[in-house]
Structure 1
Amino acid sequence: MIQDGLEKEVLEEIAKKMLVKKEELVLFLENKVENPVSTAESIVKLLIDKGLITYVEVIGKTCYAITQKGMREVG
C-alpha cells in the first residue's frame, strides 16, 4: 500500500508509460521537489522494495518498468 503522495504520483507516471528512463523521472520531479535526483532515487528504491516497479536496462540506459503488482496498486 502506498501512503506517500509523491510515491503514488511517481508510480502513476510509470504506469502511464509502462517503462521510464531514470532521467524522465528526474524531470517529472523537477518542479515538485528541491532535489529531484535524490528524491527519484529514494522513491524508486521504495517502489522496488515493495515490488511495484522493477529495474530494467535498455540499450545501456537505466529504466524502470511497472510490475503487475504495481498496476494493481494504481487500479
Structure 2
Amino acid sequence: MTSSRRPALRLHIDWTRCDGRGLCTELLPTVLDRDDWGYPLARDHTPEPDIPAHLHPDARDAVRLCPRLALTLHPNN
C-alpha cells in the first residue's frame, strides 16, 4: 500500500442506539438503503459495509452527525 492510499474503512451500526432517523442513508446513499421503518440497511447485505475511499469524508460526516451516536468507523483489516 502506498502512503497516498487511505486504509479501507467499514461502518458499524449500533442497533441498540439507532432509532431510524435516516440521516446516514441520506449521506451515504450508495452504501446504505432504508428498510420499511427507516432503519439503515447495507446495500451489500453485510452487517458492516465497506466504505470506498472516495466516501470516507461522507462516512465521517454521518458518524459525526448521527443524532443517536449509533455509527462508528473501523479499519477494514
Q: Which has the larger radius of gyration?
A: 2
What is the TM-score normalised by the length of structure 2? 0.32
Higher helix share: 1
TM-score by length of 1: 0.32
